[in-house]
Amino acid sequence: MFKTTVGPGSSRAGYLRPETAQGIFMDFNWISRYFRGRMPFGVVQIGKAYRNEISPRQALLRLREFHQMEAEVFFDPQNKTWPRYDRLRDKNLKLLTREAQLLAPTEQNPIRMTMGDAVANGIIANEALGYFVALTAEFLETAGLPENVLRFRQHGLQEKAHYATDTWDAEFLSTRFDWVEIVGIADRTDFDLRAHERVSGQKLRQMRFFKEPQAVEVDRFIPVRAQLGPRFKDKAAAIGDAISKMDVPDSIPRDLEVEIDGRVFSVPKDCVRVERRMERKEGDWYVPHVIEPSFGVDRIIYALLECNAEFPGPEIEMVSMASGQKMQVVGPEPVKIRLPQSVAPIKAGVFPLMNRDGLDMFAKEVDARLRAAGITTYYDDAGAIGRRYARMDEIGTPWCVTVDYDSLEKKDVTVRERDTTKQERVAIDRLVDRFHDKS
Ligand code: AMP
């Protein structure tokens, strides 16, 4: 989809993938074996995707090279349920249906209902799709997007890919760019697997087993060796074997196409005959359907930053009531990003109050302890404590730990919380537990 050239000064063409998903379909048979043929199963992938956007713009929203997290979840088309459906059945959703989008813009209101009701009323096509819509809502809210800036918009009949039965986009309301799609969740049916089957000649199927194997009548091609031998010489045996494994179509064409070692042979009808046999059948083969939640990582990160950043207020001048003289300029408040601790890249800033008298050694020990417990820290001994807090607030670090002179004696530290700026003393032996409790 995105053509480029490989290597400097080269004219060799290369093509970049527009989504991460296709490799999963190509590996379908390996993956199916890994899951021992049991349905449903899912595969996730994170990686780069490329699109030849005519005008990349709007910060992280329209890039030519971006990151996707995609899942392909495979189902038997006769059973689009999900084992843990009940966990999310009562999740509240805001749904902008395709019917609502036909109304005048001011009338286009989303409906609020639980995922279970949306599925029961046929608004979302099936249980499995409903589950992944609700899971997406839960994920985005946990990552730090408030519920009031999120909605799910159903694709209209024109917009929906021709193969998809139902598609919902998670959208977030940007203060700068209005509603922006951040995740697409589509029931892609069997479109991708069938397309890969067609081009590769490989069967990408799954068996729906009968309770008991059945005896069934089937038609089979029987190679007529006397015809094949003179025509195809040393290839005759291989062609005969390949033909006997082929399915017999309802109407047999004049020539059958057989591929041997990458070469395609046309085999005339009179080289085969059809015989009806009784065979033992274990089940029916089918092409699985797939539900694809496709997450745009860069857009989600943009949304998290926009929704959680507090920007500096204006400078406020304080004027003395008595003298009318300017007293002080307050602010501006520094930037603060209120990321939930689960997505904050750094969990704790660690500061020695002074860079001497053993405070630094002690603070480094505290830092090492937190890191050993898997808590990502940032050690900072430069400048006034207020500035160090501000630096951490600005990148969304939820906690700061300060080591002072009392710490040396009492073996405790001050923990300051970003959002409340509340401070409390915590014994260093309890510090790791305290962070784990809070997360
Ligand atoms: P799509 O396959 O077009 O539904 O894209 C899947 C997801 O990738 C979208 O929900 C977006 O979050 C993201 N995405 C698509 N195009 C871009 C782009 N040009 N820049 C950044 N993210 C994108």
By most ligand atoms within 8 Å of CB, the mutation choice from 66, 139, 168, 297 for ligand 1 is 66
pLDDT in tens, 340-355: 998 999 999 999 999 9
313 has pLDDT over 80: no
Ligand 1 site, residue 136, Cβ cutoff 6 A? no
CA 309 / ligand 1 centre spacing (Å) = 23
Q: Is 299 in the pocket of ligand 1 (CB under 6 A)?
A: yes
329 pLDDT above the threshold of 70? no
How far is residue 365's CA from residue 367's CA, in Å, rounded to a whole number? 5
The CA R_g of the chain, rounded to the nearest whole Å, is 31
The answer for 172, left when phi > 0, alpha when psi is -120 to 50, beta otherwise, is beta
Question: pLDDT tens digit string along 180-216?
Answer: 999 999 999 999 999 999 988 889 999 999 999 999 9
Top mean pLDDT of 87-91, 175-179, 255-259 is at 87-91
- Is 282 within 8 Å of 207 (Cβ atoms)? yes
Q: Could you identify the atom of ligand 1 that is nearest to the CA of residue 170?
A: 10
State if residue 51 touches ligand 1 by the CB under 6 angstroms criterion.
Answer: yes
Q: Which of 68, 139, 150, 191 is the best mutation target for the ligand 1 pocket, counting ligand atoms within 8 Å of the beta carbon and taking the most?
A: 68
Orientation angle between helical segments 428-438 and 359-372, nearest 10 degrees: 40
Average pLDDT over residues 210-236: 91
- Each residue of 389-398: pLDDT tens digit? 999 999 999 9
Q: Is 172 a pocket residue for ligand 1 (Cβ < 6 Å)? A: no
Closest Cα to atom 18 of ligand 1: 62
From the number of C-beta atoms within 10 Å of its C-beta (0-12, 13-18, 19+), residue 263 rates as: exposed
Statement: residue 333 has pLDDT above 80: no
d(CA 51, CA 346): 32
Output the DSSP codes for 153-169.
EEPPTTTS-TT-SEEEE
pLDDT of residue 145: 96
Q: What single string gives the DSSP state of each residue in 82-98?
A: -TTHHHHTT-EEEEE-T
Q: Which residue has the tokens 């630094």?
A: 360
Say if residues 167 and 136 touch (Cβ distance below 8 Å).
Answer: no
2 lines ligand 1 (CB under 6 A): no
Task: Select the highest-mean-pLDDT range: 55-64, 134-143, 317-326.
Answer: 134-143
The dihedral region occupied by 119, where left means phi > 0, alpha psi between -120 and 50, and beta the remainder, is alpha
> Which atom of ligand 1 is found nearest the CA of 181?
10
Tell me if 86 CB under 6 Å of ligand 1: no
* Atom number in ligand 1 closest to CA 182: 12
Distance CA 103, CA 296 (A): 29
* d(C-alpha 388, C-alpha 73), whole Å: 46
- State the closest ligand 1 atom to the C-alpha of 60, by its place in the atom list counted from 1: 21
